[in-house]
Amino acid sequence: MSTAPKTASQITSEAAATAPANLPQVTHARNPGMALDLDWVASVQANTSAIERRAATLPGRRSVKKDHQAAWLLKAVSLIDLTTLSGDDTPGRVARLCAKARQPVRAEMLEALGLPGLTVGAVCVYHEMVEPAVRALEGSGIPVAAVSTGFPAGLSSYRTRIEEIRDSVKAGAKEIDIVISRRHVLTGNWQALYDEMAEMRAACGDAHVKAILATGELYTLRNVARASLVCMMAGADFIKTSTGKEAVNATLPVTLTMIRAIRDYQDRTGFKVGHKPAGGISRAKDALNYLALMRDELGLPWCQPDLMRFGASSLLGDIERQLEHHLTGHYSAANRHAMG
């Protein structure tokens, strides 16, 4: 990285100043959960074809151009959980990712756009990489998120899954992305799902918990809607679409279904729950569609890192190219931007 020391310190201090706002409990009351309400769960409907139509027409209904597009893309950057979840992850690889998290877009570009010091929302890694990541992000204020509970399948022993959460929190993770037991949804065992989620939430302590529904393995939007609701009842801070490892990951219809559940939950309880689409969001245009959906369906608070994240690894690269195009008028190339 070739930024001047002064700018770098500015980045650090600004990032540190903004970082806590990434956590939901800072600006909004944390969702305490509620008793499982099975009647409510049973009454939840999600009409697939109608939801698909709404999602399909959204890109044609919403469009942001020029400065607005640049601002929206920068917003997307600030919401990214920059992620590496590979068997070949090493401390070195994670350190490079963390450097990218601190400086997601070339400094002079951020300067030109009026948002120096912009960072991503968080860095997301496996448990063994939590410590290296925490070290690499020291002083940046960027939280480390750990995927946990036998990620991605969630089928290791219950006890080890709960322990894994505690270990990751102990290692410094501020956010825990848990995976739910898909079988509880597929068999309609809402009580089991609720109990599991509630215990995982308890194990997280002050770390905030994102419930990964692995929607590609729930198969129907009705299941997605009901599972979303149960996880919120059990105290999830965020509901997240996917591990990135399912055959189908984030889609607009799934996100629409989940955020409608978030809205109903807020209407009933007053608590705001965040949303994280993850997996398969790789184009700048995709990010804009998701943001438009959040903005229109849930409102501005859900366009902030405390209530919205993108789980993505390659999205940032496309955004960087789009931003450079915005600044220069020329189409950009990947090698002009630092690797994460």
Partner 1 sequence: MTKPSVREIFDTMAYGPAPEGHAEVSAWLARHNGRFGHWIDGGFTEPGAGFATKNPATGDILAEVTQGTPADLELAVRAARRAQAKWARVPGWKRAQVLYALARLVQKQSRLFAVLETMDNGKPIRESRDIDVPLVARHFYYHAGLAQLVETEQPGMEPLGVCGAVIPWNFPLLMLAWKVAPALAAGNAVVLKPAEWTPLTALLFAELSREAGLPRGLLNVVTGDGETGAALVAHPGVDKIAFTGSTEVGRKIRLATAGTGKSLTLELGGKSPYIVFDDADLDSAVEGLVDAIWFNQGQVCCAGSRLIVQEGVADRFHAKLKRRMADLRIGDPLDKCIDVGAMIDPEHLARVSAMVDACREGEVYRAPGPVPAGCFCPPTLITGLSSAHPLMQEEIFGPVLVSTTFRMPSEAVDLANNSRYGLAATVWTENVNLALEIAPRLKAGVVWINATNLFDAAAGFGGVRESGFGREGGWEGLMAYLRPTRKPRPLAPQKPQAEPEDFAVEGLDRTAKLFVGGRQVRPDGGYSRAVFSPRGKLLGHVGLGNRKDIRNAVEAAHAAKAWARSTGHSRAQILYYIGENLSARAAEFGQRLRDLTGKPGQAEVEASIRRLFTYAAWADKYDGAVKSVPMKAVALAMNEPVGVVGVLCPDEAPLLGLVSLMAPLIAMGNTCVLIPSEAAPLAATDFYQVLETSDLPAGVVNIVTGSHAELARTLAGHLDLDAVWTFSSTPLSALVEKESAGNLKRTWVNHARARDWSGPEGEGPDFLRAATEIKTIWVPYGEG
By the rule CB under 8 A, 96 interacts with partner 1? no
Distance CA 218, CA 209 (A): 20
Q: Which of 14, 37, 52, 195 binds partner 1 (CB under 8 A)?
A: 52
Q: Cβ atoms within 10 A of the Cβ of 302, count?
A: 22
Q: Cβ atoms within 10 A of the Cβ of 188, count?
A: 13
By the rule CB under 8 A, 120 interacts with partner 1? no
Q: Which of 50, 155, 334, 339 binds partner 1 (CB under 8 A)?
A: 50
By the rule CB under 8 A, 138 interacts with partner 1? no
Q: Which of 23, 36, 41, 70 binds partner 1 (CB under 8 A)?
A: 70
Short-list 278, 259, 235, CA closest to 29: 235
Q: How far is CA 144 from the centre of its chain?
A: 12
For the bound state, the minimum distance from the C-beta of residue 257 to partner 1, rounded and expressed in Å, comes to 9
By the rule CB under 8 A, 72 interacts with partner 1? yes
By the rule CB under 8 A, 247 interacts with partner 1? no
For the bound state, the minimum distance from the C-beta of residue 187 to partner 1, rounded and expressed in Å, comes to 15
Active site residue 306: no
Q: Mark the segment that binds partner 1 (CB under 8 A) among 49-57, 131-139, 172-180, 276-284.
A: 49-57
Residue 262 to residues 50, 62, 79, 272, Cα–Cα distance (Å): 18, 22, 18, 7
Please pick, among 100, 174, 272, 276, the residue that the annotation labels catalytic.
276
Active site residue 264: no
* Residues within window 100-119 making contact with partner 1, judged by CB under 8 A: 113-115
Distance CA 314, CA 149 (A): 25
Handedness of CA 225, 227, 231, 237 (dihedral sign): negative
Residue 139 to residues 92, 110, 135, 167, 182, Cα–Cα distance (Å): 18, 20, 9, 22, 38
Active site residue 240: yes
Closer to partner 1 by CB, 54 or 325: give it. 54
Measured in Å, how far apart are the chain's first and last C-alpha atoms? 12
Query: Which spans of this chain sit near partner 1 (rule: CB under 8 A)?
Result: 43, 45-54, 57, 60-68, 70-72, 74-75, 113-115, 219-223, 260, 263, 291, 295-296, 300, 303
Catalytic residues: 177, 240, 276
